[in-house]
Structure 1
Amino acid sequence: MDHGGHGTMTDLPPFTFGRGLEFAGGGDPVFLVGCVLALALYGWGVVRLRRRGDSWPVGRVVAFAAGVLTIAAVMCTALNDYGMVMFSVHMVQHMVISMVSPILILLGAPVTLTLRALPTAARGRKGPRELLVALLHSRYMKVISHPAFTIPLFIASLYGLYFSPLFDFLMGSRAGHIVMMTHFLAVGLIFFWPIMGVDPGPNRPGYIIRMLELFAGMPFHAFFGIALMMASEPMVTTFLHPPASLGIDPLDDQTAAGGIAWAFSEIPSVIVLVALLFQWYMSEQRQARRKDRAADRDGDAELAAYNAYLASLDARGRG
């Protein structure tokens, strides 16, 4: 099977979706278009800022590009082929697209860049920028960014999908597979968005609360991985019959998938925790500088008042 730029995978014979729809291979074109479009729009925003003399941190550009490229790596290459027949490879795709890619994308602050790059509409009118601001402050965004929504959604996306017939149903067609992977990405973005706190949003708790939100969801993620590793039989039917040429046992492959899910519950947590601690440190530094400037102003005012008082005493003495 030719994979258009990725060589011929002679070890992986042609295979079909559950409903007999042939999988073309070589990665998913929908995600490829999405990745190219995301990079192009982000680049347009950065160029627009630079042309008018505004700066944009290089680190944010690198983080966003890395986030998009991680999506491309798991969805737009031959890895996507193996993810259709091997539970372990599918789990790598799931973990990357739901936990690694969202963190990197959010560190790139795409919403902040959009707000700065879009022009302000004329008085009395609403342009794209004004509509985005209204959306960010809407009741809808308050609901979907609240921990009471994000944490259950994050957990349900694991247990409700893999431990029900829904997973096999979605894996049975190309459209279902795209919907499922898009869902994983969206859930990751929604879960980490209020925690990362780089872009503006309706729910911005303190740093301690953000850390608690982070660690509230991770144990369930680890338990999911353990459940897969401890299972005595395959949990989903999609991966029951892998190509014979791969020489893998479905149950062993599922155990490996569980180990991957368990390991990924630790790695992103460390990345986010480091980012939160750095943000907290920078916030404290900014507050300290503001207090110092305020103290300097107050000190100057007190000194000026004291000098004025001495001058008035001197004037009285001369009078």
Structure 2
Amino acid sequence: MSGPMWMPTAPPTLARLVALHPQPVPVIPVLMLVLAGLYTAGVVLLLRRGDRWPVSSAVFWALGILSVLAMTATGIDGYGMELFSVHMVQHMVLSMLAPIFLVLGAPITLALRALPARPAGTFSARSLLLSVLHSAPARFVAHPATALVLFLGSLYGLYFTPAFDGLMSTMWGHNLMLLHFVAIGFLYFWCVLGVDPTPRRASRGLRKYAAPTVRILELAATAPFHAFFGVMLMMSVALVVGFYRIPISGWGIAPLADQAVGGGIAWGFTELPTVFVLGVLLLQWQRSDERTTRRRERSAARAEAERRSYNDYLQRLAARDREGTR
């Protein structure tokens, strides 16, 4: 397959995959740098006000930005246009790893704390963000069923329809698809992890979905679909997408064999992010139980202090009564 001059012409090696990859219009790398700058500005603003921001959140956000850059600013981006297996690495990282880090960075919470508040009835970026979070479309998109359908649609709806070939035919379509992976992954794990405020938690009638057990079920629901998708690619005797149908001269890589490798990547990659997110959910559950226990202990301690104070008051009254009768 002969491509534009910015496309790789030599077979992939580790050094070529990790090297910086020149692009005519580096849309996603520039966007990631802008997001990193905005996040840093928000943290600096909080620190100057005397507020604190968790270092772990900033580290997770940085990991998310770096993960996206690793898939879009290096040779992986170029070779992803030539080999299905490399593209599948892009897809898995951009939809199942980078979004986890970005969600754990709590960008919505940071924005709500950093953006200045305005008097009631006036417009501000913070009020706009709150309006979006409480809107009906946001509640629909953040519903577990919607997020799940959109997330799985990135697999089946993209690769088993002509949509993939159409998007991959242009640089802009390719970038749009990669941004779609990140956005849908962020939406899905935003709902599952519940680190930032979500429309579901903002709605009284939907709070029950935020329970850790339900979110664990949401996480587990995607695993069999990912596994089935990977097995289909590995076992297929025909190419699923036509974009990679022409073997690259001199590389010695058969498209069907490369598709099988891509299927193995899709099948095996889901385990690590799933285990990581499960660990985060269990940790959240444990901390929630600890907070509940501490709250109950404080409530019991206050009740005991009030009881003792009342008993002391009654004893003083009784003592005065005894003195008055003498």
**Structure 2 length as normaliser, TM-score?**
0.90
In the alignment, structure 2 segments of 5+ residues that lack a partner are: 13-20, 202-209
Paired residue for 1:139, among 133, 136, 156? 136
Q: Aligned runs of 1:218-297 on 2, under 5 Å?
A: 218-297=223-302
Aligned equivalents of 1:47, 1:69: Cα separation in 2 = 20
Aligned equivalents of 1:241, 1:255: Cα separation in 2 = 16
Moved over 4 A (4+): none
Q: Higher mean Cα deviation, 85-94 or 155-164?
A: 155-164
In the alignment, structure 1 segments of 5+ residues that lack a partner are: 14-24
Query: Secondary structure of 1:203's partner?
Result: helix
Aligned equivalents of 2:258, 2:106: Cα separation in 1 = 37
Residues 27-86 of structure 1 show CA distances to partners (whole Å, capped at 9, x for unaligned) of 560011111101000000000000010010111000001001100001111211100010
Query: Secondary structure of 1:245's partner?
Result: coil
Matched, 1:75 2:76: no
Q: Aligned runs of 1:103-252 on 2, under 5 Å?
A: 103-204=100-201, 205-252=210-257
Give yes or no for contact 1:224–1:258 (8 Å, CA) kept in 2.
Answer: yes
**Structure 2 letter corresponding to 1:34:** L
**Structure 1 letter corresponding to 2:141:** I
Aligned equivalents of 2:198, 2:148: Cα separation in 1 = 17
- Per the TM alignment, residue 2 of structure 1 is displaced from its structure 2 partner at its CA by 7.8
Residues 144-166 of structure 1 show CA distances to partners (whole Å, capped at 9, x for unaligned) of 00012111111122111101111
Aligned equivalents of 2:8, 2:258: Cα separation in 1 = 20
**Structure 2 letter corresponding to 1:26:** P
CA RMSD across the alignment:
1.7
Aligned equivalents of 1:144, 1:92: Cα separation in 2 = 26
Give yes or no for contact 1:49–1:55 (8 Å, CA) kept in 2.
Answer: yes
Q: Higher mean Cα deviation, 215-224 or 48-57?
A: 215-224
Query: Secondary structure of 1:125's partner?
Result: coil
- Per the TM alignment, residue 246 of structure 1 is displaced from its structure 2 partner at its CA by 2.0
Report percent identity of matched pairs.
Answer: 45
Residues 119-167 of structure 1 show CA distances to partners (whole Å, capped at 9, x for unaligned) of 0013331200011011111111110000121111111221111011111
Give yes or no for contact 1:31–1:75 (8 Å, CA) kept in 2.
Answer: yes
Aligned residues between the structures: 304
Query: Secondary structure of 2:155's partner?
Result: helix
Aligned equivalents of 1:39, 1:66: Cα separation in 2 = 10
**Structure 2 letter corresponding to 1:73:** A
**Structure 1 length as normaliser, TM-score?**
0.92
1:16 — aligned with what?
A: none
Query: Secondary structure of 1:244's partner?
Result: coil
